[in-house]
């Protein structure tokens, strides 16, 4: 159906078809029964990131970060607040560049934190530097 959206489960990576009008009704995964849209950022490894880029029907905002990065640590609560505010229209992922160095290299991440917004698996916009939650939300809304 044209109003169905593919949503990737953050727990088992299964792709689920969800009617767009039901996104705000807390849909669950058909395979593992986990919540699909939690309103929280999802920690993504290369496999989940790849699945999101190839199958996710919603725009995806990715925070490329590292544990040694002070501004990244300061921005983490703001990114979580932004996830709650942008849910269920935008998926938010966190990619640890120390653990996923190949992904960081693939996307040319040279400074962190860097946020990259994807739609349909293609980069739409990027910005570097820490932001408050309101700034993240405004930036995302301005890009879409």
- Nearest 5°: phi and psi at 56? -70, 130
- Residue 42 burial (C-beta neighbours within 10 Å; 0-12, 13-18, 19+): buried
Does residue 72 carry a catalytic annotation?
yes
44 and 65 Cβ atoms separated by less than 8 Å:
no
Does residue 69 carry a catalytic annotation?
yes
- Tell me which of 9, 12, 29, 69 is the catalytic residue: 69
* Residues with a known catalytic role: 69, 72
């Amino acid at each position: 159906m044209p109003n169905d959206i593919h949503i990737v489960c953050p727990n088992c990576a299964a792709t689920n078809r969800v009617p767009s009008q039901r996104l705000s009704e807390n849909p669950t995964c058909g395979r593992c029964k986990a919540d699909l849209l939690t309103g929280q950022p999802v920690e993504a490894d290369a496999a989940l990131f790849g699945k999101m880029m190839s199958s996710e029907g919603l725009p995806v905002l990715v925070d490329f970060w590292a544990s040694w990065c002070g501004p990244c640590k300061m921005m983490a609560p703001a990114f979580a607040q932004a996830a709650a505010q942008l849910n269920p229209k935008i998926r938010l992922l966190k990619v640890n560049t120390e653990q996923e160095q190949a992904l960081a290299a693939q996307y040319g991440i040279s400074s962190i934190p860097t946020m990259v917004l994807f739609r349909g698996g293609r980069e739409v916009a990027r910005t570097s530097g820490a932001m408050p939650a309101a700034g993240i939300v405004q930036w995302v809304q301005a890009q879409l």
